[in-house]
Amino acid sequence: MFFMHILCQDLADKSDEDLVLLSVDNQNYFVCLMERYETKLLKYIKRISGLKQEDCEDLLQDVFIKAFLNLRSFSPDLKFSSWVYRITHNHVISNYRKIKSRGVEVYESEDQPLWENMVSDVDASKMAELSLLQGNVSIVLDKLKIEYREVLVLRFWEDKDYQEISDILQKPVNTVGTLLNRAKKQFFEISKNYNIKQ
């Protein structure tokens, strides 16, 4: 494994897309892509799934297997990051639906980063409402429809722009904007149902 780490350090200046091309011919290079995305994707999985760490790690392994098996179908028209986030998103949502069909509530989140990002994105008139939710964002997120939760996480936690979200969710950019507006509106509406103190 040490050898692979050294190899990845030597390839640090290669783009993701270059590593994809190398990985198609030699699977050892895929480890470098895994190293680049392991932490980011694990956090993303945790944020949209609400699962425990070990379950998120299992999902991440599945994602990397799927990504590797589908490398030949990677389109250079997309950024690799958008492509791998799309695979992750689809796998997590599929798993989420299975869990929800059993009636299990799973959402546990570190809500401070989302709180900070949402505060910086909304207008001043919403700041008072948001201040009531600081430290309790996960309670409200758990009540959101999954399509609203995921778009908020991608925008405010993962800091993805509209085009990247469009690529990940496979929805037009205008739809992403509409989803974000509806998600924020639903977030604030649901927050009114909770008497959450600072």
Q: pLDDT category, 139, cuts 50, 70, 90?
A: confident
**Is it the case that residue 117 has pLDDT exceeding 70?**
no
What is the pLDDT at residue 78?
82
What is the pLDDT at residue 145?
86
Across 88-96, average pLDDT: 88
- When the pLDDT of each residue in the chain is averaged and rounded to a whole number, the result is 79
Q: Name the residue among 84, 92, 90, 87 with its Cα closest to residue 33.
A: 84
Computed on alpha carbons and rounded to an integer, the radius of gyration of the chain in Å comes to 18
Domains and CATH numbers, the chain: 2-101 (1.10.1740.10), 112-191 (1.10.10.10)
Q: Name the residue among 82, 71, 68 with its Cα closest to residue 40.
A: 82
Q: What is d(CA 157, CA 105) in angstroms, rounded to the nearest whole number? A: 21
Higher pLDDT, 97 or 172: 172
What is the pLDDT at residue 169?
92
What is the pLDDT at residue 180?
93
Report field, pTM of the whole predicted structure over 0.85: no
Burial tier of 170 (Cβ tally within 10 Å: 0-12, 13-18, 19+): exposed
Q: Name the residue among 104, 85, 84 with its Cα closest to residue 96.
A: 104
**Is it the case that residue 160 has pLDDT exceeding 60?**
yes
Higher pLDDT, 137 or 80: 80
Report the range of poorest mean pLDDT among 19-23, 101-105, 132-136: 132-136
**Is it the case that residue 32 has pLDDT exceeding 80?**
yes
Q: Name the residue among 141, 159, 151, 144 with its Cα closest to residue 177.
A: 151
